[in-house]
Amino acid sequence: MLRVSLSQVTSCATAGYNHSVRAEQVWRARRFVPLKLDTFNDMSRIREVWAPNLESELHNIRDLIDKFPYIAMDTEFPGVVARPIGAFKTSSDYHYQTMRCNVDLLKIIQIGLTMADEEGNYPQDVSTWQFNFSFSVNEDMYAPESIDLLQKSGIDLQRHEEMGIEPNDFAELMITSGLVLSPETKWISFHSGYDFGYFVKLLTAESLPTNEETFFDVLHIWFPTIYDIKFVMRACKVLKGGLQDVADDLGVMRIGPSHQAGSDSLLTASTFFKMREIYFNDHIDDAEYNGKLYGLGQTFTLANGIGEPGRGSAATLAEREDRGPPRDTQNQTPGPPQSHSVAAAMGMGTPAMAGALPSPMPVTPYGPMGTNGPYMRTPIGVGGGR
């Protein structure tokens, strides 16, 4: 149902329009006011971006950023294939090192960006851009379960291999887009350690920093203002679970398929503004919530459903599960393993057969994710898919 505020009704009446969906569309178009999402509930709002149209679409985004400074972001990537080896001072350090080693080893597949203004309005026609990166199942490393899930979600990996965006091309255009390095641009995410890990790697063309503190220093340079919904919603005692659960509780409707970055970023944006309206009186306290990524920097809590007393909370893999099935299909996962596993749970070139090792991993300081290890209790989640 279309929701029209009192001021909108008054303005429409003054202009002589009927209070219908079509009338609001015409009124907004004439006033150059962006449309609320529920006015155009279709997939045309999501623009697919490949190598041939990368430059033109980022130019379109640059033209909109001043008017629509809120950017909801999501990623898809080929799973979780490794864990770090050694002793860790805190659970947060372990979670960061797990994220770091997987981001360093793997390639991003999609980034979804959705633009909005301060009131939660979206640009007309297109609000969301889904950037599709170069990826080859014949050459690049991946977790087989993750690739299977992406393909079932409709991602065309053959097209990614043939027309995918090169990371350096994306980074060069993004750095000059006005979206990064600007405190005025406000980034919205959900349980987004991996999302921003991959984004920082793209922008810097380097491996992630070896320690969590330095990572946050770098993160805050590129993204001075970040709101992670999973962290923010700690103040909302009734909101729990993954993004789809929270969206359902708030009555927010998804557009497009889950486990695709465009649809997930659009759902992230809509959920953020609805949560802000209902629970925060349309104002988020930056001092309390800006720059925090749930699961890193000791930001996880028992209240949000990850972890148990007496053992570390597995924010790394839980992040993948957090953004996938609804809460009734989710399982808890424990923290740092107590012993090293020797079996691999990833593919490289071709998916690993059950009980067999895939192609050798490159030489790294990281250990493989074990099929009998604690992180394999449930299927590995993929990217930012909710």
Residue 322 — pLDDT band, cuts 50, 70, 90?
Answer: low
Q: What pLDDT was estimated at residue 210?
A: 95
Tell me how far apart the alpha carbons of residues 357 and 67 are, in angstroms, rounded to a whole number: 51
In a domain, 315, yes or no: no
In a domain, 258, yes or no: yes
Q: At what angle do helices 167-175 and 54-64 cross, to 10 degrees?
A: 20
Q: What pLDDT was estimated at residue 297?
A: 86
Residue 221 — pLDDT band, cuts 50, 70, 90?
Answer: very high
Task: Count structural domains, the chain.
Answer: 1
CATH code of the domain containing 118: 3.30.420.10
Q: Residue 230 belongs to what domain range? A: 39-295
24 within 8 A of 31, measured Cβ to Cβ: no
In a domain, 74, yes or no: yes
Instruction: Tell which wins on pLDDT, 286 or 298.
Output: 286
In a domain, 12, yes or no: no
Among the residue ranges 80-94, 121-135, 262-276, the one predicted with the least confidence is: 80-94
Query: Which three-class secondary structure state does DSSP give residue 46?
Result: strand
Q: How many whole angstroms from its chain centre is CA 309?
A: 28
In a domain, 303, yes or no: no
Is-above-0.95 flag for pTM?
no
pLDDT exceeds 80 at position 273? yes
pLDDT digits (tens, 9 = 90+) for 36-94: 554 445 678 999 999 999 999 999 999 999 999 999 999 999 999 999 988 998 988 99
Tell me how far apart the alpha carbons of residues 259 and 284 are, in angstroms, rounded to a whole number: 28
In a domain, 310, yes or no: no
128 within 8 A of 41, measured Cβ to Cβ: no
Which tokens in the block code for residue 311?
């053992």
In a domain, 48, yes or no: yes
Q: What pLDDT was estimated at residue 283?
A: 95
Q: What is the mean pLDDT of the chain?
A: 78
In a domain, 285, yes or no: yes
321 within 8 A of 378, measured Cβ to Cβ: yes
